Structure 1
Amino acid sequence: MSKNIGYIRVSTVDQNTDRQLDGVELDKRYEDKISGASTKRPQLQACLDYLRDGDTLHVHSMDRLARSMRDIEDLVKELTGRGVTVRFHKEGWTFNGKMDATQTLLFQMLGAVSQFERSIIRERQAEGIAKAKAAGKYKGRKPTLSPEQVQEIKDKVAAGAEKKALAQEYGVSRQTLYRMLAT
């Protein structure tokens, strides 16, 4: 028996999911409150694992499924290849099998617009941060480690301690550790 499955995503826990798929009758729904920049989202993965041949995945809009065109296209191709219908309600698009040339073109154009919007958001955010920094109102993220801890790490590295173990001990990523050591 085919089922109607909903996937809902907002970027932060403060955002409300009520408007997404409002009025759509669903047998099961999966909800993430996390950025769409990656497809490694717990509820998305659970949803993908649950979907079966004949099911329909309902998503409010393309950008709720993924941010990048490649991710959206890959997910839709994978799902339709498994016999799952994918329906984007805001765009009014339904994919259930091989896309014709017109659908492919429009799909890619809509995805490109979503990526463009995301880029504009990032640019505005960077401009806002730069403006706040210039006004002395934005200090950036607080350092993860105190200057004393950084010196301890440098001393331990000089004494031959393993960097990976130090990163774990101090609760930072290896990239952060290497950045600190470079200063």
Structure 2
Amino acid sequence: MQGQRIGYIRVSSFDQNPDRQLEQIEVGKVFTDKASGKDTQRPELERLLAFVREGDTVVVHSMDRLARNLDDLRRIVQGLTQRGVRMEFVKEGLAFTGDDSPMANLMLSVMGAFAEFERALIRERQREGIVLAKQRGAYRGRKKSLNSEQIAKLKQRVAAGDQKTLVARDFGISRETLYQYLRED
């Protein structure tokens, strides 16, 4: 049974261009998430999983674009192939059908482990870079969500007894961020 080719794209930030991931790859439909790989909320991936049917092929640029870690990768690939959906990873040049040999399953695990290892190295280098930048006085951290006037209003509302959850929602920040502002003097 010949189904349709469906692309899945995940970019880590809103300013990244998703088009290059499936450039020159022919697909009938594309699902795009704009979220970090560690983020468990990937609504377009969930839509894709609900959309695909037996005989379809899901095309992804690379394994690290599909899954957060090796367990997640194996779960998604096995879940799809058990439903008769073929998985293709362009960068790795691998395809999985569910009728895969032990060697194909080994390749999935090894390549997935390499992708997980690469992400860990990137995080480690990022942490080291931040430490060095802090030592040089060049690291300022993330830009504050609120300006000083908004922070003052936030503190006034909390002091007046407003519910912190509502205050956070009104300012478009998380409760944790609200508590960080309250701790500042």
The verdict on a shared fold, with TM-score over 0.5 as the criterion, is yes
For residue 54 of structure 2, what is the amino acid of its counterpart? Answer: D
> Paired residue for 1:171?
172
Contact 1:32 1:41 in 2 (8 A): yes
Instruction: Name the % identity.
Output: 49
Cα RMSD (Å): 2.7
TM-score (normalizing by structure 1)? 0.80
Amino acid across the alignment from 1:172: I
Name the structure 2 match of 1:65: 66
Residue type matched to 2:129 in 1? G
Contact 1:39 1:66 in 2 (8 A): no
Over 3 Å counting, the alpha-carbon distance change for 1:143 and 1:49 in structure 2 is same
Alignment of 1:76-155 (within 5 A): 76-97=77-98, 101-146=102-147, 149-150=150-151, 152-155=153-156
Q: Which amino acid aligns with 1:50?
A: F
How far has the Cα of 1:158 moved from its partner? 4.3
Amino acid at match of 2:181: M
SS at 2:88 equivalent: strand
Q: Is the aligned partner of 1:162 residue 2:173?
A: no
Deviations 1:91-117 (A, max 9, x none): 232222265544433322221211111
Distance 1:153 1:110 in 2: 48
* 2:30 match: secondary structure: strand
Distance apart, 1:54 and its partner CA:
0.9
Aligned pair count reads 183
**Residues 33 and 152 of structure 1, relative CA distance in 2, 3 Å threshold:** closer
Q: Give unpaired runs (5+ residues) of structure 1.
A: none
Give the unaligned 5+ runs of structure 2. Answer: none
Residue of structure 2 in register with 1:35 after alignment: 36
CA distance in 1, matches of 2:158, 2:116: 42
TM-score normalised by length of structure 2? 0.79
Shift of the 25–136 alpha-carbon distance from structure 1 to 2, 3 Å rule, reads same
Q: Deviations over 1:124-160 (max 9, x none)?
A: 1122222222222221223333456545544543443
Equivalences for residues 51-62 of structure 1 within 5 A:
51-62=52-63
CA change 1:172–1:13 in 2 (3 A) is closer
| Stretch moving more, 16-25 or 117-126 | 16-25
Alpha-carbon distance in structure 2 between the residues aligned to 1:132 and 1:144: 22
1:82 maps to amino acid = R
Asked if the contact 1:62–1:88 (Cα under 8 Å) also holds between the matched residues in 2, the reply is yes
* In structure 1, distance between residues paired with 2:19 and 2:167: 44
